[in-house]
Structure 1
Amino acid sequence: MIYTVTFNPAIDYVVRMSEELLPGMTNRSDSEECYFGGKGINVSTILKNLGLDNTALGFIAGFTGTAIKESVNKKGIKADFIELDSGMSRINVKIKGQAETEINAQGPAISKEAQDKLFSQLDQLVDGDILILAGSIPNSLPSDVYERIIAKVNDRKIEVVVDATKDLLKNVLKYHPFLIKPNNHELGEMFGTVLKTDEEIELHAKKLQEMGARNVLISMAGDGAMLITEDGERFRVGVPKGKVKNSVGAGDSMVAGFIAGYLKNHSYEEALKMGTAAGSATAFSDDLATGEAIIELYKNL
């Protein structure tokens, strides 16, 4: 079974405006949409769209949390969220006009008791399972929670995927995660530099391997993606042609596509292609990509 963890799920309330946003004034929208997610839930959605059953773990609260859970269930994903006693899951406001403006909410506090419940859920994972940890962590959680989670499952043959940045990512490398996915800018930031060439990107990805990472997947937006495998191979792929409509969830889609591609035939090269197809398909869509859209792009890579 594949498990994803979303510490701080959210409803993204997208407001579209043709007129300029005027601070301090009454503004009117042209249209509105709601999207239910969070990085781990996005991964779960793409996995399901590609035909892979999985379980979404995490924390929800209030009426917004109930709406998020219902949305996940409607997609056919098993949701085993822990319901918090107080607060409400986030509503993030995304204003798309002549410029894009975002207001990301804080989210509910996660108690020690709720954290313990998550660790009890992790006790149920068995050899052969995949655990995907994605995104930042709320202020109410300890800064080493990723480390504690991976240490918790480290005595079992569980493949751990981590999509995080900076110290949150660096600090888990000692547990030898199966896959990490920084983008090229995040990779450079981790070493205090700007990476300009494929050779520089490869060099610094291998430094993360020296620190413990097994496979390093680097997304590079319009320049495609690179994979440095635990076998020392380097694979590079460009991006398919299409009009970019949306950046939200593209990285999460790449992670999901990579795992789906790898599980299909255990080929790292094909996993990279499927991951790139999934990330691109979401970037070319208003919402997370459908399985059909991903497969169509995959065939042309």
Structure 2
Amino acid sequence: MIYTITVNPSIDYVLQLKQLNTGEVNRTSSDVKLPGGKGINVSRILKALKIDSTALGFVGGATGSMFEELLSQHELKTSFTKVKEDTRINVKINAVEQNEETEINGAGPMISDDERQAFMNNLNGIGAGDIVIMAGSLCKNLDAKFYLDIAKTIQKQGAEFIIDTTGQALLDTLPLHPLVVKPNHHELADLFNVKLNSEQEIVTYARKLLDKGAKHVLVSMAGDGALLVTKDTAYKANAPKGTVINSVGAGDSMIAGFAGTFMETKDPIESFHMGAACGSATAFSQDIAVKTKIDEVYQDISITEL
């Protein structure tokens, strides 16, 4: 079983308009409310690929109820920990004529010690053969060690984990040998306080994450494709042709495609191929990609060894 953890899920209120004029009244051409959160996006792609997963996380208040109602439409298996404070709302503004995306993200609820412990207790059923995917930001009072505590717990129980976050929260987990880490090229540069000006430099610094303990490193590079870096080899997936409609969830979709395929095949190259297809398919979609779009994009992606 694959478990996805979204510590700080959200209702994503996605607005589309021609232009965003700050300080003025703006009217949308369309809007949609979506169940948001990086782990949630992963579970939705896994559902599209017909791979079972269970979504974990904290939800609370009236917005938490609305979040669960929105999520129920996607028929995902969930096991959320209920909290007293409200689930957050994020606003995503897509100004079409300006070709700009603006995000305003809520902070999320405060998590009490009892609520944190209830969440940790909920991990008891995870064991050998399972993969746990931890993705996204933490609630405002959870420190960077929270992901590390989760990783230690599920590793003792025999499961593997994938982590998609940034900064110290990512670095702390590397000695526990995550199956995959997935910084984009900007996040990779920030981890080491450098500027990366070439693919070779990206590969060099991705290998530093391998040296620190990661088993595989995925690096997304937007319109320049993506890289998979392993101990012995680096591979590149091209960026297929298409119109980027909404980049929200593209990186999460890449992780889902990789994790789901790896669980079934143990083949990192095929997993990378499917991950790249899922990521691009979502970027070319208004919402998380559907299977037909993933299959279409998959045919336009080639994997080359660097």
Give the TM-score range, shorter chain: over 0.9
CA contact (8 A) 1:73 1:79 kept: no
Q: Which residue of 2 aligns with 1:80?
A: 79
User: 1:257 corresponds to which letter in structure 2?
Assistant: G
Following the alignment from structure 2 to structure 1, what is the Cα–Cα distance between the partners of residues 194 and 36? Answer: 32
Provide the C-alpha distance between the structure 1 equivalents of 2:59 and 2:89, rounded to a whole number of angstroms: 12
* SS of corresponding position for 2:129: coil
> Cα gap change, 1:157/1:20 in structure 2, threshold over 3 Å: closer, same or farther?
closer
- Change in 2 beyond 3 A, CA 1:120/1:284: same
| Deviates further, 92-101 or 55-64 | 92-101
Letter in 1 for 2:300: N
Q: Which amino acid aligns with 1:262?
A: F
Per-residue deviation, residues 236-255 of structure 1 (Å, max 9, x unmatched) = 11121111111100000000
Contact map agreement 2:252 2:279 (CA 8 A) in 1:
yes
Corresponding residue SS for 1:116: helix
Alignment of 1:19-30 (within 5 A): 19-23=19-23, 25-30=24-29
Provide the C-alpha distance between the structure 1 equivalents of 2:36 and 2:152, rounded to a whole number of angstroms.
26
Deviation per CA, 1:162-207, whole angstroms, max 9, x where unpaired?
A: 0011211111101111110011111111111111222111111111
Following superposition of structure 1 onto structure 2, how do residues 41-56 of structure 1 map, counting pairs within 5 Å?
41-56=40-55
Count of residues in correspondence between the two structures:
298
Aligned to 2:304: none
TM-score relative to the length of structure 2: 0.93
What is the letter of the counterpart of residue 60 of structure 1?
V
Structure 2, unaligned runs of 5 or more: 302-306
Given the alignment of the two structures, is residue 142 of structure 1 paired with residue 143 of structure 2, yes or no? yes
Aligned to 1:116: 117
Where do residues 277-288 of structure 1 align in structure 2 (5 Å cutoff)? 277-288=277-288
> SS of the counterpart of 2:34?
strand
1:143 positional shift: 2.2
Letter in 2 for 1:295: D
**What is the alpha-carbon distance in structure 1 between the residues aligned to residue 62 and residue 147 of structure 2?**
27
How many Å separate the matches in 1 of 2:52 and 2:20?
A: 43
Match of 1:93 in 2: 91
Instruction: Return the alpha-carbon distance in structure 2 between the equivalents of residues 193 and 122 of structure 1.
Output: 37
Q: Which runs of 4+ in 1 moved over 6 A?
A: none
Output one character per residue of 1:100-158: Cα deviation in whole Å (capped at 9) or x when no partner: 33221111111111110111111111100110000111112122101111111222321
Q: Whole-Å Cα distance in 2 between the matches of residues 2 and 29 of structure 1? A: 38
Residue in 2 aligned with 1:131? 132
Larger deviation, residues 147-156 vs 52-61: 147-156
Counterpart residue number, 1:18: 18
Instruction: Please state if 1:227 is matched with 2:228.
Output: yes
What's the counterpart of residue 56 of structure 2? 57
Q: 2: distance between equivalents of 1:15 and 1:74?
A: 20
One-letter code of the match for 1:273?
H
Aligned residues: CA RMSD: 1.4
Q: Is the 8 A contact 1:61 1:88 kept in 2?
A: yes
Question: Are the equivalent residues in 2 in contact too, given 1:72–1:79 (CA < 8 A)?
Answer: no
Amino acid at match of 2:32: E
Task: Identify the residue that residue 256 of structure 1 maps to in structure 2.
Answer: 256
